[in-house]
Structure 1
Amino acid sequence: MREIGSQVGYWDGVGATKTFTHPVHLEWLDGVRRNARILDYGCGYGRIMAELTAHGFTDVSGVDPSPALISRGRRLWPDLRVEVLASPPTLPYASASFDVVLLFAVLTCVPDGDAQRALIAELVRVLVPGGLLYVSDPVLSDDERNRARYAAHARRFGTPYGVFATDDGVVCRHHDVTGLRALLADLDRLDERRIEVVTMNGHRSPAVQLLARRR
């Protein structure tokens, strides 16, 4: 679980067929100029990038560890600027390269806490001072199905409560909101909103979106 890219085999297989649904709250980007440099980390097949481009943003890049998802994105939107990330979380960009970084449903795919902290540190590195980090991720569910699988995974593997394995073979994590806030402790949190999303396997799940600024 310590390697961010350790589940690429899943995303290059069945994961490459999934539909992702976390919505972009465009009002949070109203004050961002349309030529701002935007990075979508874990862009998947480019869904959010395409939406931002349609909304008038002109400098949007995306990276993802999965070659299959990147290939899917290139087929769907040939004009998008997407690249395979070879050694996550390390990004091939200089420090202070981006005005906005998006991190949508990525932390859930990185169960290990140390790996999460390394990822956030790398994203902060490539943000300009004053740049925005926009995070969207599922939070803990209190229904019987999820409580059972959180507990079962914790008993078997000693993982934090909220880590679980899906029926089709990927390990994910649902977070306590305070834990997500703690990951952003070195940034200024600007806003937070609770939402409900449909997961890639068709279940409804609570989620949170956080907007933070690099100091």
Structure 2
Amino acid sequence: MHEAARYWQTAGAVKTFTHPLDSTWLTTISRTARILDYGCGYGRTVAELSDLGFASVRGIDISPALIDRGRRARPDLNLAVIDSPPTWAGPAAAFDVVILLAVLTCIPDDNAQQTLITELSSLLAPGGLIYVSDLLLQPDDRNVRRYTAHARAHGGPYGVFATDDGAICRHHTADHLRRLFAGFNVLNERRVDVATMNGQPASALQLFVQKA
């Protein structure tokens, strides 16, 4: 088991996730739309969408522990483990909407992030939508020290850091997040305040993009 998967099976399996959905961005989406929550954790957003009346919502995650947690809390949800991330063993163009909340922060490498976006694009039907929410670079001294220390020790993009409980995470510039979706049309964008998985206040960028 690689280190990221090990973290989400242990310390990460009990975290609380907080990135919000703006339901006004979803008003034009049919309640029968095929929705995939990629990196769904314990199914928090799958449950929210299901409770809003969306009838075909599925969540997938790399962590069996998180999926088990979600199934215990909501046995009615369609949750499954990703066997070979970032690929999903399903047909191309199988979904109309993909939800991607605080997933890129768990993927520090540029190439790995782009590989995921390419995979998600292949899963989307023509004109399909992605709702993205991820963490921005934080300007406070604590985070700047973490970014700088990790860059000096390991190289790689500025914004990567290790949490006290063993996760390797990444915060991003807004331009970097926009570039990842350069092949999509941006329908909406907003900044939101969120709590991180360890309860720290942070700012995030949300994008609602459409497959060109």
TM-score (norm 2): 0.98
Give secondary structure in 2 for the equivalent of 1:71.
Answer: helix
1:4-83 equivalence runs, <5 A:
6-83=3-80
Q: Please give the per-residue CA displacement for 1:46-91, whole angstroms capped at 9, x wherever unaligned.
A: 0000000000000000100000000000001001001000110001
* Cα distance in structure 1, aligned partners of 2:142 and 2:50: 38
Give secondary structure in 2 for the equivalent of 1:7.
Answer: helix
Query: 1:6: Cα distance to partner?
Result: 4.4
Q: Please give the per-residue CA displacement for 1:76-131, whole angstroms capped at 9, x wherever unaligned.
A: 10010010001100011111100000000000000001000000000000101111
Q: Please give the per-residue CA displacement for 1:162-201, whole angstroms capped at 9, x wherever unaligned.
A: 0000000000000000000000001111110000100111
* Cα distance in structure 1, aligned partners of 2:26 and 2:155: 39
Structure 1: segments with no counterpart, 5+ residues: none
2:95 to 94, 98, 102: 98
1:122-137 equivalence runs, <5 A:
122-137=119-134
Q: Please give the per-residue CA displacement for 1:23-44, whole angstroms capped at 9, x wherever unaligned.
A: 0111111000001000000000
TM-score (norm 1): 0.97
Query: 1:159: Cα distance to partner?
Result: 1.8
Say yes or no: does 1:193 pair with 2:193.
no
1:99-178 equivalence runs, <5 A:
99-178=96-175
Structure 2: segments with no counterpart, 5+ residues: none
Say yes or no: does 1:213 pair with 2:210.
yes
* Cα distance in structure 2, aligned partners of 1:14 and 1:171: 12
* Cα distance in structure 1, aligned partners of 2:89 and 2:36: 12
2:83 to 75, 81, 86: 86
* Cα distance in structure 2, aligned partners of 1:27 and 1:49: 17
Aligned alpha-carbon RMSD (Å)? 1.0
Identity over the aligned pairs, expressed in percent? 56
* Cα distance in structure 1, aligned partners of 2:206 and 2:135: 9
* Cα distance in structure 2, aligned partners of 1:204 and 1:93: 37
Which runs of 4 or more aligned residues in structure 1 lie more than 4 Å from their structure 2 counterparts after TM superposition? none
